[in-house]
Amino acid sequence: MCDCEPTCPTPRVSRRRALGLATAAAGAAALGFGQSPASSLGTPSVEVAPGLRIARRSAWGPDLPPQGAIGTEDVRFLLVHHTFSPNDVADVRALLRATYAFHTGPEKRWPDIAYHFMIAPDGSVWETRAGALHGPVVADATGGNQGFAQLVCFIGDYTSVTPTPAAQESLVRVLWWLADRYDIDTGPTATTTFVSRGSNKLPAGSASTVRTISGHRDCTLTACPGDAAYALIPRWRSLVHANRLHAAPDPDAPYRTARRLGVHLS
């Protein structure tokens, strides 16, 4: 269960090369994925890498600004969540607005949605933390990892069923993009260590070591991201790393992405 969701019962930007379009598509297909996933995205959205479009925050919440300051973080690892909500999502935008209301409401009192990005069952990817497309903004979290992890959350309940193929493909693409963006080691044995800011699993001040792609339960005593999804994390790690190895060098790609986002890279 994820304690960030209203539906829960208990509740240094790198200049590393980005994806090479043709090589990335071929590599993804060889590793069990097809072309880029079908998506319900309208505008405004942005292509952050070949095959990966993300709906800007303004696509679902132009009238919902953050309710407080959001700082930056030292990104060391990537953390997978699920919402523990129904898998039949009729209106993603409405769900995101409800999540915003819960996270900024009296129970959580966070300035915005905790997660940086959320992925719908149809494979569409949404910027949900203000500023996440532009750089390493800090998330709100309950795992002691505040300030060290980018959070990517599946919409749905993956306790006993796995995320859709489209959602899984999008997750791998998002993790791949974030790992390149923040120069995160995704090798087979890659780990990182951070000083916990306190959770029911990692006491505040403790030196905590996790895999660089982990699940919420690795930082908190929780069932999130669900047993079925958590069992797939080793496969997703392997796919991310293998695709990064297969990607064609493209030193100009970060600059093209930055221009699309309106960000200056010094």
Domains for the chain: give ranges and CATH numbers: 21-261 (3.40.80.10)
With a cut of 80, say whether residue 261 has pLDDT above it. no
> How many whole angstroms separate alpha carbon 266 and alpha carbon 13?
10
The per-residue pLDDT for 252 is 54
pLDDT (average), residues 125-133: 96
Look at residues 176, 168, 181, 177 and name the one whose alpha carbon lies nearest to residue 225. Answer: 168
The per-residue pLDDT for 205 is 83
Confidence label for 122 from pLDDT (cuts 50, 70 and 90): very high
- On the CB side of 195, how many CA atoms lie within 13 Å of its CA? 1
More confident residue, 150 or 30: 150
What residues contact 189, with CB distance under 8 A and at least 6 apart?
none
Tens digits of residue pLDDT in 81-100: 999 988 998 999 999 999 99
* Start-end of H helices in the chain: 21-30, 92-104, 165-181, 227-230, 233-246, 253-261
**DSSP for residue 188:** T
Q: Give the global pTM.
A: 0.80
The per-residue pLDDT for 35 is 41
- What percentage of the chain has pLDDT greater than the value 90? 57
Confidence label for 203 from pLDDT (cuts 50, 70 and 90): confident
